[in-house]
């Protein structure tokens, strides 16, 4: 991509933005490059701000602030930011709620209009004119609950007289292709984030990488963690749905944090349980990954114990968690109909893990480990003791079962 000229030439900036959008240049790098080129072209920009509405379970938006000739700040905004006084008094809130795509204010002189607190702050910082523009992505979901899926831009200058009419028109005109380039660059990130939220990071990377053909599967040696809440069905039958959801999310949070901290990934949420995998990238990693899987299970139980103690103190019933650890090959890939696929893990190893977990209640244990797991990680044998051989439903031969010593 070529450097910007030293005289304003919109065609060259358009061309650069097209290249940047097609190359999916990261938003921060794209915004910084555009601001630098705009200033080098003779348009006085003292401050630029870009906010991108996020389709993400935790973050409502990501913003980039450009000032003093550089990208000065990158910030993520959680959903609860909508409740803050700063947002309530923001001109962007006004724009989104009134569907106002353009807001222009002079900050100095006889015609200054400081009808939002932040504009007074900008004037105190020496800025003289401010312009904000809003562009929707055209996704209907963005209109729900005031969630704007699109781009908000604001520009400010510290020139004594503000911008000339031609400069302001250039900023406004070039903001449209800038927004389009940002949208193009963030589309893949949005897709990846949504997929990762629902099917996991590894699966999302594979799908985005082109593994989308039905029947396209791979075989992966895995250490498997299967966890399930004991007695949850009875609890759900006598409890209000809102409370069931709250409690379930609390337990899932414990599970997700423990698995992620140990380097694993949740493959599936299964009713009131999870299926997680810990994947050795090469044979030499197997002992370390096995140890991490066992540590994750123990950490998970400790987290659930703390959660249950807090719930009991609040007068709520505690729920026990049962975990099975197993080792085996899983089949991982696209399964389903021609129109509706699930990127999932299947195979006898997963079935055996679920059967082993069902034995927890019978043996009065919250954590059971299969013989294949122990064989794959003999260094862990000293931490475990055998509970003898047991019949697992649907498994032909009896299996030796282990538990923490």
Give the pLDDT score at 5: 40
137 lies in the same domain as 113: yes
157 lies in the same domain as 24: yes
Give the pLDDT score at 67: 95
CA nearest 368: which of 348, 388, 351, 395? 388
pLDDT at residue 36 is higher than 70: yes
Give the pLDDT score at 10: 86
Give the residue from 199, 217, 234 where a domain finishes: 199
What are the pLDDT digits (tens) for 219-234? 778 899 999 999 898 9
70-79, long-range: CB < 8 A, 24+ apart:
70/32, 71/28, 71/31, 71/32, 71/35, 74/28
Which helix (H) or strand (E) segment holds residue 264: the answer is none
Give the pLDDT score at 94: 93
The pTM is what? 0.64
Q: Is the distance from CB of 135 to CB of 176 less than 8 angstroms?
A: yes
Cα 256 from Cα 260, distance rounded (Å): 6
DSSP character string of 116-147: SHHHHHHHHTT--EEEEEEEE---GGGGGGG-
Give the residue from 170, 199, 228 where a domain finishes: 199
Give the residue from 144, 173, 199 where a domain finishes: 199
- CA 320 to centroid of chain Cα atoms: 29
Give the pLDDT score at 259: 92
Which of 33-47, 79-93, 261-275 is modeled with the greatest confidence? 33-47
pLDDT at residue 179 is higher than 70: yes
164 lies in the same domain as 282: no
Question: Quick one: average pLDDT of 249-274?
Answer: 89
Flag whether 213 is in a domain: yes
Cα 68 from Cα 260, distance rounded (Å): 39
pLDDT at residue 260 is higher than 70: yes
Flag whether 170 is in a domain: yes
pLDDT at residue 331 is higher than 90: no
pLDDT band for position 187 (cuts 50, 70, 90): confident
Question: Quick one: average pLDDT of 207-225?
Answer: 68
What are the pLDDT digits (tens) for 129-158? 999 999 988 765 444 454 567 899 999 999
pLDDT at residue 261 is higher than 70: yes
192 lies in the same domain as 206: no
pLDDT band for position 266 (cuts 50, 70, 90): confident
145 lies in the same domain as 26: yes
The CATH number given to whatever domain includes residue 48 is: 3.30.450.40
pLDDT band for position 2 (cuts 50, 70, 90): very low
The CATH number given to whatever domain includes residue 253 is: 3.30.70.1230
279 lies in the same domain as 174: no
Q: Which two tokens stand for residue 193?
A: 């984030």
pLDDT at residue 212 is higher than 80: no
N-term to C-term CA, the chain: 62
Flag whether 165 is in a domain: yes
Give the number of domains in the chain.
2
Which domain range does residue 213 map to?
Answer: 201-404
Q: Which two tokens stand for residue 272?
A: 């009131």
pLDDT at residue 118 is higher than 70: yes
169 lies in the same domain as 252: no
Flag whether 237 is in a domain: yes
396 lies in the same domain as 304: yes
More confident residue, 60 or 318: 318
What are the pLDDT digits (tens) for 345-383? 777 888 899 999 999 999 999 999 999 999 988 889 989
Counted residue by residue, the chain has a size of: 405
243 lies in the same domain as 378: yes
19 lies in the same domain as 155: yes
Q: Which two tokens stand for residue 348?
A: 């006898």
160 lies in the same domain as 38: yes
Flag whether 142 is in a domain: yes
Flag whether 285 is in a domain: yes
21 lies in the same domain as 55: yes
Flag whether 1 is in a domain: no
Least confident residue range of 58-67, 135-144, 291-300, 389-398: 135-144
Give the pLDDT score at 394: 75
């Amino acid at each position: 991509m070529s450097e910007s000229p030293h005289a304003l030439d919109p065609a060259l900036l358009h061309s650069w933005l097209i290249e940047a959008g097609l190359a999916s240049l990261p938003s921060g790098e794209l915004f910084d490059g555009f601001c630098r080129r705009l200033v080098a072209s003779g348009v006085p920009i003292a401050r630029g701000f870009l906010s991108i509405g996020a389709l993400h379970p935790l973050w409502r938006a990501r913003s980039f602030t450009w000032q003093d000739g550089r990208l000065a700040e990158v910030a993520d905004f959680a959903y609860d930011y909508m409740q803050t006084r700063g947002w309530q008094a923001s001109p962007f809130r006004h724009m989104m709620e009134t569907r106002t795509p353009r807001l222009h204010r002079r900050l100095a002189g006889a015609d200054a209009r400081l009808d939002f607190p932040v504009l007074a702050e900008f004037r105190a910082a020496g800025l003289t004119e401010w312009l904000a523009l809003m562009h929707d992505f055209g996704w209907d979901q963005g209109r729900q609950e005031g969630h704007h899926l699109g781009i908000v831009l604001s520009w400010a200058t510290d020139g004594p007289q503000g911008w000339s009419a031609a400069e302001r028109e250039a900023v406004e005109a070039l903001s449209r292709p800038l927004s389009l380039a940002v949208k193009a660059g963030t589309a893949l990130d949005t897709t990846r984030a949504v997929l990762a939220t629902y099917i996991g990071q590894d699966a999302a990377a594979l799908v985005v990488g082109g593994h989308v053909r039905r029947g396209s599967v791979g075989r992966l040696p895995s250490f498997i963690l299967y966890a399930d809440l004991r007695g949850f069905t009875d609890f759900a039958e006598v409890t209000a749905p809102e409370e069931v959801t709250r409690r379930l999310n609390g337990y899932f949070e414990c599970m997700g944090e423990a698995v992620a901290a140990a380097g694993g990934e949740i493959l599936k949420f299964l009713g009131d349980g999870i299926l997680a995998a810990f994947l050795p990238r090469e044979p030499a990693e197997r002992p370390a990954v096995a140890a991490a899987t066992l540590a994750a299970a123990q950490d998970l139980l400790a987290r659930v114990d703390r959660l249950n103690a807090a719930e009991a103190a609040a007068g709520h019933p505690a729920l026990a968690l049962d975990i099975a650890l197993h080792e085996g090959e899983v089949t991982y890939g696209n399964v389903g109909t021609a129109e509706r696929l699930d990127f999932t893990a299947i195979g006898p190893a997963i079935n055996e893990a679920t059967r082993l977990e069902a034995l927890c209640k019978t043996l009065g244990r919250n954590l059971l480990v299969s013989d294949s797991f122990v064989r794959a990680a003999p260094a862990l044998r000293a931490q475990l003791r055998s509970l003898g051989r047991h019949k697992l439903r649907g498994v032909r031969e009896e299996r030796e079962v282990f538990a923490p010593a």
